[in-house]
Copies of this chain bind each other. A is one copy, B any other.
Amino acid sequence: MTEPKRRGPRQAEAERNDRALLRAARQVLADDGAHATVAAIAAAAGVGIGSLYRRYRTKEELFQRLAELSLDSWNQAAERGLAEDDPWEGLASFIVACVEFGQGSLAPIAGTIKVTKEMQAKSDHSDELLAALVARAHEARVLRPDVTVVDISLLIEQFGRSPALDQLRKQGREDLLEAAADAHRRVLAIAVDGLRACHPRPLPGGPPTDRLFTERWTHETG
């Protein structure tokens, strides 16, 4: 067993709280961007501030953990995509999955995340997976030929947050949240269709540099 022993009587509650905190952090980050507060995160999780700081020594440590989990989710989505038979469906479902679990909520805090060696390894792996998804779609001639992995990554990031959904949530208009989420998925579907190989005109500008991604995170030397 990996964790053979419960160390305290209220360990189960602690684990539930931890999951709730991570869920809430993603949510609040999506809503409020870079200036999400710990009070808001704790409140959204239905947990006291004290409980947050017992598990994470600082706000940054929580965000760090969130970034790591997001990388895992990204990789799982990519592997599910590769497992699909149809190359197009594999790529499209990967994109939708990444947008769905809120990959884009990390963008506002990307500059504050320290990339550990472990995360770097996961990131390299995710690059390979995405490259494989794109290569397979190219070979099947279902993806327009001048689309690169950077284009896909930027598309996912672009749809990671929904301005309309953010504002409605901040205004407490619960009645429109569902409609806004549906509409967001609709617009994403439009954009994904724009990736199909049925468009004769080449895309404007040259292929984008991957420096747009590699140089936006601060790396650890140790």
Q: Which residues of B contact A195 (CB under 8 A)?
A: 190, 194
A107 within 8 A of B: yes
A161 to chain B, nearest CB (A): 7
Minimum CB–CB distance for A204 against chain B, Å: 6
Closest B residue, CB atoms, query A155 = B187
- Looking at the assembled complex, report how far the CB atom of A190 sits from the nearest CB atom of chain B, in whole angstroms: 4
Q: Does A159 contact B (CB under 8 A)?
A: yes
Contact flags A203-222 to B (C-beta < 8 A → 1, else 0):
11110110110011000000
8 Å CB contact of A190 from B111, B185, B186, B203: B203
Complex contact B189–A191 (CB within 8 A): no
Given contacts A104-B163, A107-B163, A162-B158, contact A212 B183 (CB under 8 A): yes
Contacts of A190 in B (CB 8 A): 147, 151, 155, 191, 194-195, 203
The residue in A163, A201, A209 that gathers the most chain B C-beta atoms within 10 A of its C-beta is A163
Q: How far is the CA of A111 from the CA of B205 in the complex (A)?
A: 36
One of B164, B191, B199 near A157 (C-beta < 8 A):
B164
Which stretch in A7-15, A64-72, A134-142, A173-181 binds the other chain?
A173-181
On whether A176 and B211 interact (CB within 8 A), knowing A108-B163, A168-B216, A191-B191, the answer reads yes
Q: Tell whether, in the assembled complex, residue A164 and residue B205 are in contact, meaning their CB atoms are under 8 Å apart.
A: no
Dominant SS among interface residues on chain A: helix
User: How many residues of A are in contact with the other chain, CB < 8 A?
Assistant: 57
In this assembly, does A184 line the interface, its C-beta being within 8 Å of a C-beta of chain B?
A: yes
- Which chain B positions have C-beta within 8 A of A118? none
Q: B111 near A171 (CB under 8 angstroms)? A: yes
- Residue A119 at the B interface, CB < 8 A? no
- Which of A176, A180, A194, A209 has the most chain B CB atoms closer than 10 A to its own CB? A194
A196: Cβ under 8 A from any B Cβ? yes
B-contact bits for A117-152, CB 8 A (1 contact / 0 none) = 000000000000000000000000000000100110
Closest 5 CB pairs of A and B: A194-B194, A183-B208, A191-B191, A107-B163, A190-B194
